[in-house]
Amino acid sequence: MPGGPHPIGATLRSSNAEPVESPAWPNAFYSERVKDSECVGFLQWALPRLGLRWRGFRKVRSQVCKRIDRRMRALGIDEAEAYKAYLDSHSDEWHVLDGFCTISISRFYRDHVVFDALGDTVLPALAARAAARTGATVHCWSAGCASGEEPYTLSLIWNQRIRLQFPHVVLAVVATDLDATLLDRARVACYSQSSLRELPQAWIDAAFVRQNDQYCLRDPWKSCVEFLPQDIRTSQPSGPFDLVLCRNLAFTYFDKAAQRRIVSRLAEQMGADGFLIVGRHETLPSDAPFVPDAMGFGIYRRTPSAAPTCP
């Protein structure tokens, strides 16, 4: 792409969380070296070259700008214009910059109306469907899972609610993220109390054991989740999946071309009439082979007759 190569293996993570409003600062940047206005200009230049869009980063740019500032200090670079020149002459640096463009915000049951809808309607419907077929397994994929709060929330809902109605149906969740450090944390499954604050106390008492200042998920609630290191832009786990969660990730941060490629690949990994969950404020490309479910909340259904489109 002009100005620099499109990095291979790039990823954005929001841990499937809603974009966060910036604090009420007067856009003053947190760095002595790079001011906010300078960082904004730099991101507006760099993000399209990474297949990303400024609109998704506007309110959460502080995380990225801080990382860029630290990188510039390490390189002995004083101005964003000089960092642009460095990127132009050092192609590998685009991979480094891409690694700074990750937004990780997560907790259990975040955006509770979505998980309420999953527990009230979507998962019972999928369990009933699975009970009527050979195998009796509901297959789910959590894309951009970060440290595991989203896939484990599915496990909690299943074990605390759905399994009681469908004791012979099994939940199997594949959770993917590119960040190996976050995946290691997910496998350990120990969290601060603040990460659990939206869970019912009865669920916490049943599913977690307290270890010092952390709450660690018990093995029965971990066993249905498999974590894989994957970048949603370049690879996907093997389907078909009955339910895919790709919330506040591709359709917030990626450019339109990448969104169309990804939504096509998501559709290819889903069974007929499967459910796709995106962020409540996200929209799919107009030619996506999905239709909004009547429930709303970013819940879509795969349209069996529509063929995925990919430019």
| pLDDT digit string, tens, across residues 67-103 | 999 999 999 999 999 999 999 999 999 999 998 998 8
CA 74, CA 116: separation in Å to the nearest integer? 46
pLDDT band at 271, cuts 50/70/90?
confident
Q: What is the pLDDT of residue 310?
A: 46
Residue for token pair 């977690």: 208
Q: What is the pLDDT of residue 208?
A: 98
- For 177-203, what is each residue's pLDDT tens digit? 988 999 999 999 999 999 999 999 999
Average pLDDT, integer, range 139-160: 97
- For 41-75, what is each residue's pLDDT tens digit? 999 999 999 999 999 999 989 989 999 999 999 99
Average pLDDT, integer, range 135-154: 95
For residues 284 and 278, the answer to whether their CB atoms sit within 8 Å is yes
Q: What is the pLDDT of residue 57?
A: 92
pLDDT band at 252, cuts 50/70/90?
very high
For residues 65 and 34, the answer to whether their CB atoms sit within 8 Å is yes
CATH class of 112-302: alpha beta
* Pairing verdict, β 270-277 and 137-143: unpaired
The rounded mean pLDDT for the chain is: 88
Rounded to the nearest 10 degrees, what angle do helices 93-100 and 80-89 cross at?
A: 130
Q: What is the pLDDT of residue 16?
A: 45
Residues in the chain: 311
pLDDT at 245 over 90: yes
Average pLDDT, integer, range 289-296: 92
pLDDT band at 305, cuts 50/70/90?
low
pLDDT band at 259, cuts 50/70/90?
very high
Least confident span in 2-16, 61-75, 84-98, 132-146: 2-16
For residues 4 and 92, the answer to whether their CB atoms sit within 8 Å is no
Q: What is the pLDDT of residue 10?
A: 37
For the whole model, what pTM was predicted?
0.85
pLDDT at 308 over 50: no
Q: What is the pLDDT of residue 105?
A: 77
